[in-house]
Amino acid sequence: LICDLIILAAGVPGNVLTILAYIKYEQLQSPTNLLICSQSIGDLFTCLSGPLFAVFNYTETGQALAASNKYLCLVSLLVLFIALQSSITNILALSTERFIAVYFSLHYYNWVTERNVKIAVVAIWTVIISINCLPLVGWNDWNSKLACMPVTVYPQLFFQGLFVLPCLIFVLVSTVENFAIAVKAVRRQRSIAAAVVVPNADQQTEEAKIKSGNQFKVTKMMLLVVGCFFAAWLPWIILNSIFFSLPSSWKINGVPKGILMAFEYSKGVLVANSIVNPFIYGWKNKLFRDAY
């Protein structure tokens, strides 16, 4: 409980700063940074809703309160699931935006416009909120005798089919996209190093080089963001997958204590990702650093 609360509290200032930086600093108001702002909003929601979930599950008073109030339990899970799912969906959106920038650079400024990105962000949040409101309107297995946990409150079809499976698919798609981006980025860095100076280059060529260089810096920053995201999410996803297909010996004798402990602490690792991103933006992006 203490571990989770400290991690969640630590994630609030950085994400608030990132959101305010985007809103108040005009030079940061680009399509890419709009996706970053959306990601920070999801991380901030995780930090704000996480303590309620932790109290309901790791304190006797919280367990009693959740057991006596069905909708309080459902709302706490609703907000947390919206935050977590928005985070992973925004990572997919950021990965796709970078994939387009790297592999379809000629069409990038026509496809990735501020209007299109705003439509994508609104669509992401609308779909996620709509799906996660289903348990609130009746699709749930809440029981006052059971803990306020997703595996006990949400039906298996909802939890696996509408949360875990989409998250796993989004992670796999993001992995493929970012592997392809990394390969292309390495090749581009080599080509830039081989042609540092181009004699008699006209102004248009120089402007194209500057744009390409800026996109390359953003790509490296986003690869680092996505890499940290994978490192934080994979333990939780792997352990959830194990629980969904329990070995026969575990079904008879119960899940080993070490696995259960690892699962509990994987939640802390997952939410710790919300602390990391603002540091990456400030470290790798001068505009974010100045805005902070």
- For the stretch 244-271, pLDDT in tens is 677 778 878 888 889 889 988 898 898 8
Q: What is the pLDDT of residue 207?
A: 54
What is 2-291's CATH topology?
A: Rhopdopsin 7-helix transmembrane proteins (1.20.1070)
**Region 259-288: what's the mean pLDDT?**
89
Comparing 60 with 199, the larger pLDDT belongs to: 60
pLDDT in tens, 101-157: 889 988 999 999 999 999 999 999 999 999 999 999 989 999 888 888 888 899 988
Compute the distance between CA of residue 163 and CA of residue 177 in angstroms, rounded to an integer: 21
pLDDT at residue 279 tops 70: yes
What average pLDDT does the chain have? 86
Q: What is the pLDDT of residue 149?
A: 87
pLDDT tier, 209 (very low <50, low <70, confident <90, very high otherwise): low
Q: Residue 39 in contact with residue 45, Cβ under 8 Å?
A: no
pLDDT tier, 79 (very low <50, low <70, confident <90, very high otherwise): very high
Longest dimension (CA), the chain: 77
Q: What is the pLDDT of residue 208?
A: 55
pLDDT at residue 281 tops 60: yes
pLDDT at residue 206 tops 80: no
Between 146-150, 173-177, 212-216, the lowest mean confidence (pLDDT) is in 212-216
Q: Residue 5 in contact with residue 54, Cβ under 8 Å?
A: yes
Q: What is the pLDDT of residue 202?
A: 55
pLDDT in tens, 93-103: 999 999 998 89
pLDDT at residue 204 tops 70: no
Q: What is the pLDDT of residue 217?
A: 78
Q: What is the pLDDT of residue 131?
A: 94
Q: What is the pLDDT of residue 75?
A: 93
Tokens of 217: 């810096």
pLDDT tier, 81 (very low <50, low <70, confident <90, very high otherwise): very high
Q: Residue 97 in contact with residue 35, Cβ under 8 Å?
A: yes
**Region 190-215: what's the mean pLDDT?**
56
- 243: Cα within 13 Å, side-chain hemisphere: 19
Between 38-52, 136-150, 198-212, 277-291, the lowest mean confidence (pLDDT) is in 198-212
**Region 216-227: what's the mean pLDDT?**
83
Q: Residue 95 in contact with residue 178, Cβ under 8 Å?
A: yes
Q: Please tell me the pTM assigned to this model.
A: 0.84
pLDDT tier, 193 (very low <50, low <70, confident <90, very high otherwise): low
